[in-house]
Chain A
Amino acid sequence: MTQLPTSTKKKLGLVIDLDTCVGCHACVISCKGWNTENYGAPLSDQNAYSGAASGTFLNRVHSYEVQPPMLKDQPAAPAQLIHFPKSCLHCDDAPCVTVCPTGASYKRSEDGIVLVNEQDCIGCGLCAWACPYGARELDAKEGVMKKCTLCVDRIYNENLPEEDRQPACVRTCPSNARHFGDLADPTSDVSILVAERGGFDLMPEQGTKPTNKYLPPRPKDVEPEYDILAPYLAPVASDGKGLVNWLDKALSALPGGAK
């Protein structure tokens, strides 16, 4: 039955650091690579080499411009560009699971991962309608719903070296903007990170209680006026002597001359 478990032993999920993400899309590519070659139906592309290319992705990186407001008397701070990776948030109260008519969508009681049993999926698309985050995409070739599996075929895979037993996106991120762990355990690295950096939920008003958390960008430093030549270009001394002093006074005395 596609009812949600009352509680899960673990809450495996991701913590995504919006401060350090550089928007390189490496997570997008490694995700597509791993999930095309391994568990479930491949992530198909349509018209991949034409002008109208389209395809299934489980993880996408948006970019937003955020313009701080103008404060009293001061000009507004410069706009910030924030890269924003988005995939399934493995919600505690996942609306995508309960709407499924076939039982294909389910949330695992042992670790909280939300998965689709592709043999049961009829591709009605209702779960994608119910998800506020756009985490589910219907594969145009296979006709079944695809979504992030949290790389369930990596994280428990004893054939892989231990350092590879994490989601492909986390393993590949070159700027350490993605972290994987158990968010139900308050002593885990990810939980500490969330507590220290003020991790937040996306669209909390939708009541989905997402497991994945986002870390806000840190406040930008105010850049000091900085010029390495400045010490060598100190202004002409006001108590000048000789010819320079005479010229300064004489020129200042002219109509319109600088004092």
Chain B
Amino acid sequence: MHPAPSVIAFTTFSGLGFGLLFWLGMGMPAPTGWVAFGYFAIAYLGAVGGLLASTFHLGRPERAIKAFSQWKSSWLSREGICAVVTLLIMAVYGAGLVFLDTRFTLLGWLGAIGALGTVFTTSMIYAQLKTVPRWHHWTTVALFLLLSLAGGALLSGNVRLALPLLVIAGALQAFAWFHGDGRFLASGTTMASATGLGHIGRVTAFEPPHTGTNYLMREFIHEVGRKHAVQLRVIALGLGFVLPILLLLVSSSLWIAVLAAISHVFGILALRWLFFAQAEHVVGLYYGKR
């Protein structure tokens, strides 16, 4: 799949933003006044910034409002609704903390559930696609949720929670990569099943339908990104998990925590780049490519 910067930024920053909103909603921490304002500003910057980034890849962003209508069948629609409802609830909750020094506990819990729901619906957009066997698996959902919780814990200063969450998320990511490598083959979709010509013999693409490129090839076939997959995996694991864990174990100062968070964000960006660049869409088979 084409690793579009808008979608990578969207999944990374909105994941972190909603993760932070989850912990704020749970009252961990429950700051008030300007400190609360700082926390909520970071969370909204991530969550709203990510959502806005995702509209950049729309062909017709001016009609985006229509995407709230199909919640009965579409995970993308459900995600939009979940995100907006959560952001509205948490705005009231945040205003209570910032301006009234009051914590509306129930609203916070509702917002926390909404934040998790938003990340869950985002993950289902990818996990539902049978056409991308690497994504069509429970690890996609589990990883989105765990990464959001771990990143949120890191940003909210919950070191005790961040450490185990980072360990679990890193281990699950490693498992997802390992298991994901074999899923295209395991899906059973091949050039033989795509063309229905497998009973005659070995099928190879002889001539593409056109001399140039097209939308399908730009969107779904991305071989360059996979060339450096191993190096990128090491970088993502190192920056996203190992370095933050070490930093948090070594010192509990604020600056070290900030450094750990920054390292984590870069690790997640590398990981999300791979999430798209390594995902192989079955339509590539018609072109004899992946």
Asked if A144 lies at the interface with its beta carbon under 8 angstroms from chain B, I say yes
Q: How would residues 224 to 245 of chain A score, 1 for a CB under 8 Å from any chain B CB and 0 otherwise?
A: 0000000000000000000000
Establish whether residues A206 and B130, one from each chain, have CB atoms under 8 Å apart when the complex forms.
yes
In the bound complex, residues from chain B placing their C-beta under 8 Å from that of A80 are: 200-201
Asked if A108 lies at the interface with its beta carbon under 8 angstroms from chain B, I say no
Q: How large is the interface on A (under 10, 10 to 19, 20 to 34, 35 or more residues)?
A: 35 or more
Segment with Cβ contacts to A, from B30-38, B93-101, B212-220, B261-269: B212-220
Q: How large is the interface on B (under 10, 10 to 19, 20 to 34, 35 or more residues)?
A: 35 or more
Asked if A193 lies at the interface with its beta carbon under 8 angstroms from chain B, I say no
* Nearest-CB residue, chain A, relative to B216: A134
In the bound complex, residues from chain B placing their C-beta under 8 Å from that of A103 are: 66, 69-70
Min CB–CB distance A182 → chain B (angstroms) = 22
Asked if A68 lies at the interface with its beta carbon under 8 angstroms from chain B, I say yes
Establish whether residues A98 and B214, one from each chain, have CB atoms under 8 Å apart when the complex forms.
no
Establish whether residues B214 and A101, one from each chain, have CB atoms under 8 Å apart when the complex forms.
no
Min CB–CB distance B128 → chain A (angstroms) = 7
Establish whether residues A66 and B197, one from each chain, have CB atoms under 8 Å apart when the complex forms.
yes
Asked if B153 lies at the interface with its beta carbon under 8 angstroms from chain A, I say no
Asked if A247 lies at the interface with its beta carbon under 8 angstroms from chain B, I say no
How far is it, in angstroms, between the C-alpha of A205 and the C-alpha of B185 when the chains are bound? 13
Establish whether residues B74 and A125, one from each chain, have CB atoms under 8 Å apart when the complex forms.
no
The 8 Å CB contact of A143, one of B60, B69, B212, is B60
Min CB–CB distance A210 → chain B (angstroms) = 11
Establish whether residues A124 and B200, one from each chain, have CB atoms under 8 Å apart when the complex forms.
no
Asked if B125 lies at the interface with its beta carbon under 8 angstroms from chain A, I say yes
In the bound complex, residues from chain B placing their C-beta under 8 Å from that of A202 are: 193-196
Segment with Cβ contacts to A, from B111-119, B157-165, B279-287: B279-287
* Nearest-CB residue, chain B, relative to A77: B201
In residues 12-65 of chain A, which contact B (Cβ within 8 Å)? 18, 25, 28, 52-57, 60-65
* Nearest-CB residue, chain B, relative to A1: B72
Asked if B228 lies at the interface with its beta carbon under 8 angstroms from chain A, I say no
Asked if A5 lies at the interface with its beta carbon under 8 angstroms from chain B, I say no
Asked if A246 lies at the interface with its beta carbon under 8 angstroms from chain B, I say no
Establish whether residues A134 and B286, one from each chain, have CB atoms under 8 Å apart when the complex forms.
yes
* Nearest-CB residue, chain B, relative to A123: B59
* Nearest-CB residue, chain B, relative to A206: B130
How far is it, in angstroms, between the C-alpha of A124 and the C-alpha of B60 when the chains are bound? 8
Among B58, B70, B212, residue most surrounded by chain A Cβ atoms (within 10 Å): B70
Asked if A156 lies at the interface with its beta carbon under 8 angstroms from chain B, I say no
The 8 Å CB contact of B215, one of A56, A144, A203, is A56
The 8 Å CB contact of B67, one of A61, A84, A101, A200, is A101
Establish whether residues A144 and B69, one from each chain, have CB atoms under 8 Å apart when the complex forms.
no
In the bound complex, residues from chain A placing their C-beta under 8 Å from that of B77 are: 101-102
How far is it, in angstroms, between the C-alpha of A45 and the C-alpha of B125 when the chains are bound? 30
Establish whether residues A64 and B203, one from each chain, have CB atoms under 8 Å apart when the complex forms.
yes
How far is it, in angstroms, between the C-alpha of A18 and the C-alpha of B74 when the chains are bound? 36
Given contacts A53-B211, A66-B203, A204-B193, contact A134 B220 (CB under 8 A): yes
Given contacts A95-B130, A205-B189, A206-B189, contact A138 B195 (CB under 8 A): no
* Nearest-CB residue, chain B, relative to A215: B196
Establish whether residues A201 and B214, one from each chain, have CB atoms under 8 Å apart when the complex forms.
no
How far is it, in angstroms, between the C-alpha of A103 and the C-alpha of B191 when the chains are bound? 32
* Nearest-CB residue, chain A, relative to B80: A101
Min CB–CB distance A115 → chain B (angstroms) = 16
Establish whether residues B128 and A84, one from each chain, have CB atoms under 8 Å apart when the complex forms.
no
Q: How would residues 166 to 207 of chain A score, 1 for a CB under 8 Å from any chain B CB and 0 otherwise?
A: 000000000000000000000000000000000011111111
Establish whether residues B205 and A64, one from each chain, have CB atoms under 8 Å apart when the complex forms.
yes
Q: 10 tightest A-B contacts by CB?
A: A123-B59, A143-B59, A60-B209, A101-B77, A68-B201, A101-B67, A134-B283, A102-B66, A63-B207, A101-B76
Knowing that A62-B205, A69-B201, A99-B74 are A-B contacts, what are 14 other residue pairs whose CB atoms are under 8 Å apart, sorted by A's residue number? A56-B215, A60-B210, A66-B203, A68-B201, A80-B200, A86-B286, A101-B77, A122-B63, A124-B59, A130-B131, A133-B286, A200-B196, A202-B194, A202-B195
